Structure 1
Amino acid sequence: MVDLGIVMPLYKQKPEFLKAALHSVLNQTIQQFKMVIVIDGAPEMEPLVQSLVGNDSRVNTVSYAINQGVPHALNTGFAELFKDRRIQFLTWVSSDNIYGPHFLEVLRAALLKGPVELGLVYSSFQSIDNDNKPLNDEVALSALRKYQGKPKEALLDSSIVGVSFMYKSCYAKKVPGGYSLAPVEDYDYWLKLTDYCDIKYIPVELMEYRVDSTFSVSAQLKTTDAHRKWRYAYHLARHDARRRRGIAPEISILLPLREVSEETIDRIENLYEQVFSNYICYVLDLSSDQHVSAALKQIPHPCSVYATYPNWEKDVAVLATVRSLHTPFTMLLDLKGFQNVMDLQILINQLHKSGHNIWSTYYTDNHAVIGYRTVDLIKPVLSNELFRTNNLVHLLEERVKHVGDPS
């Protein structure tokens, strides 16, 4: 019985890459499946597809004259498959990757053998270049397996699923709107899907992922604007997932600014590149005309908000903001950037492990050691120091006494 459906979204592609991808899918150890190839705005690809597929009755082709993006192509393909009630398992494949002969068999077997609540399985993969040369040695593959083998909760922090996966159609039909939020439509979809089901990792390489091939999405994300668009969508996917699941932000990050410079822009970009993402960033605009807000809103982020304090003293504005916060932790930023993308994650991990006698964690000047503030440690509030919010309020109230408190 045919219970497996596959979608291949196809825009422009090198003929040799498409040929290798289709050959690898059509020659799987599992031969019974339905496949929908969605040609998305590249009619010149139709003759090539037809020559490669021939009269294979398993394959159906849908073609659009105008490119409408990967999410639309995927939703089109899966809508076709949903019409067949026999289809229980789904996956989609890229037109430039190469799939090992047991790719479908192993993933399908894992879903079949798993409990009812298991809805998504995924495996490791090997990266290759345009000449089919493997890019990862055994050390790198081992590191990837460790990264992907994290528990389901880690999916809120990063896209551990990767590019080799299969899921149950019964859960896919629950996802409102299907695929969306390009160019992170896959990651966003895994977060939506796992609102309803569990996941399982299979630590074996089942396919070869072609890195930055000529027409790939990743190759198109090299400019600053494209990277910002990707980063915004990546953060939004996580932000929306936490909101759906009732997970409140953990950290409030405050960045008080009176002017905007290249250094300012570098600093906020540096924050947005942190691995830890469950925060709200408050930009405190101290300018007289809100030009700080106008400038930084050009670098969008779903978890940034803007508070205006025209011509206020910085410490007074910071205290007024901190008093209104509901997050358990707060950090006051300066223009000195994080040295490592893991800095914020490490600081909050250490504060979580500490007793309530520890008020904050911070990096020492050489960034080699984490420092801890206690009630007995009398020193100024440090920028880039992660505080328990109530303790920070106490310290700031002492600090602004000589300035005057507007409240």
Structure 2
Amino acid sequence: MDKPKVVLGVSGGIAAYKACELLRRLTESGHEVQVVPTAAALHFVGEATWAALSGRPAATEVWQSVHEVPHVRIGQHADLVVVAPATADLLARAAHGLADDLLTNTLLTARCPVVFAPAMHTEMWEHPATQENVATLRRRSAIVIEPAVGRLTGVDTGKGRLPDPEEIFAVCRRVLARGDRAQDRDLAGRHVVISAGGTREPLDPVRFLGNRSSGKQGYALARTAVARGARVTLVSANSALPDPAGADVVRVGTAVQLREAVLKAAADADAVVMAAAVADFRPAEYATGKIKKKDGEDPAPIALVRNPDVLAELSAGRPRPGQVVVGFAAETDDVLANGRAKLARKGCDLLVVNEVGERLTFGEESSEAVVLGADGSETPVAHGPKEALADTVWDLVVSRLP
């Protein structure tokens, strides 16, 4: 089989050095990569570095190898074009169809999916001109990943940081896996909210009641939603995973905190997917000091109280007409029977039911599930990567969106 052909465009920002890691991940995973840096990008990372890491000369000039017509050929033959970093200037030129260098020519001739990973100062990202350019590119089916929040050039901190190269690679991999369907971007213009991880209910300053959820399924849902064009809010409970590129991440600890964050984000959401493992109970009292064991005495019983049922609350009081609500059911026995009962009890549109245990689902890279619909449908998902289950969930969500 031919290797997937990826064009890596690099524009002139300080984050250009991070594109070297993205390039290495693409080449080591079996992709044929043609690097197309702008003249400004070469001030940050030299042509020799791109050639050494890609195994082929970097394409830098329209006038190089003119007999091969590079300004047309490179874009025509690509399976994916990804620009990382994409500066405010590059986004402006791409949005207005300018073709004053090899990279912008390539963007005009590409008929494959195009991914932009912006990186710039917060003021530049938030400027109305940049936001209009991003909106224009998204209307034309480009995937513009939301920048991350963090340290920028110098002492500045804010939104505009290039997402982690590993996470940009994950988006590229999902776009390539969707093939021609990636052009549909069926979640473009939609806002989706996803909860992930497992809540922790504190007993004292050092102990808590928790669960085994790693957050991997929720993060897979976030990555696949970004690849399908959605604006993603990820409410993450105690997960140590890196932030998915393009998702706005809200960190929480307890079930009460998760409820507050999800309800706030869901106010304008088209879909809410509750993949987090939310504690049903919490200690009735919190000990301000560490609970000590006493010789010859059994520990005092721990009284529990119910936590709010976030999924049922969302399903009953949807803040937006047509909002699709998806729940998850982790079961250890009578999986489908318990799942159907939970679906009826919670009132959600879809319920993803899977069997869990010490070596089942939690913390694993793969999953197996059945997605139950309130309309009586059943969609089995064979054992496979969590991204495959995530794509099935989004397929079912899209079919129910108004």
Same topology, TM > 0.5 = no
Q: Which has the higher contact order (CA 8 A, sep 6+)?
A: 1
TM-score by length of 1: 0.30
TM-score by length of 2: 0.30
